[in-house]
Amino acid sequence: MIYETNSPDETFEIGRKLGQSAKAGQIICLNGDLGVGKTVFTQGFASGLGIKECVNSPTFTIVQIYEEGRIPLYHFDVYRIGDPEEMYELGYEDYFFGEGVCLIEWSKLISELIPDNASTVLIEKNLEKGLDYRKITVE
């Protein structure tokens, strides 16, 4: 499925729709360059789950847990991970195979740990189509 957006609000809205239909046990891999809109998408996704608290990229921790929504959200940002071994240290399996939905920014940095049945979301710019244009591919 391919979506095209021309503002942060539209990207938020696509995240929100996917959040509304997210199911426990789902793992969503979120990739795309720095500043492309992964966090905007995540904020929409969280809103779709019914999470009201502010969601940002977890800068100092690899995973941030939000439990106030319909199902728990485990928001990973693995950008700063040095070694996939760090994922074992934080007990990632409890989240990947847990009661909630996982959203993993920069999942490609830990690709060997991602289960085959994970969903993927790729966000890309195309400057020929304008600064605020984003192509969002959901698989």
Taking CB under 5 A as the criterion, the residue among 11, 12, 30, 38 binding Mg ion is 38
CB of 57 to Mg ion, least distance (A): 4
Of the candidates 137, 93, 133, the one whose C-alpha atom is nearest the C-alpha of residue 6 is: 133
Taking CB under 6 A as the criterion, the residue among 2, 35, 54, 82 binding ligand ADP is 35
Taking CB under 6 A as the criterion, the residue among 15, 19, 32, 100 binding ligand ADP is 32
Nearer to ligand ADP, 27 or 31 (CB): 31
- By CB atoms closer than 10 A (0-12, 13-18, 19+), residue 128 is exposed
H/E element holding 48? helix 38-48
User: Of 37-45, 81-89, 95-103, 109-117, which part binds ligand ADP (CB under 6 A)?
Assistant: 37-45
Q: Is residue 8 a contact residue for ligand ADP (CB under 6 A)?
A: yes
